[in-house]
Amino acid sequence: MAEETIFSKIIRQEIPTELLYQDELVTAFRDISPRAPSHILIVPNILIPTINDVESEHELTLGRMVVVAKKLAVEEGIADDGYRLIFNCNQHGGQEVYHIHMHLLGGKPLGPMLAV
């Protein structure tokens, strides 16, 4: 079993954080180190450490994450100009917290996908 993360505590509101969205499957809140004017994290309420740990029973939760991202993009006023959704996986993918999370970024031109 994976260890608890800071996101687990945010989901349970043990760490006070303004939640932008929460239901029985997912929770969304602003990134504490934003990389764009709008930078929101959308996390499953259950601990799934990496994308490599996703199983077929997680499909509803991952789908909900995308639907919530669309809703929040509209609320943030970034849907029409565009936004980016990112999952990082493991060290080479840039994952820092081992509780999967989707980054919703927008509010300015984001440039090329990768700076190589």
Tokens of 98: 């081992």
99 flagged as catalytic: no
Give me the catalytic one of 39, 58, 99, 101. Answer: 101
Supply the residues annotated as catalytic.
Answer: 101
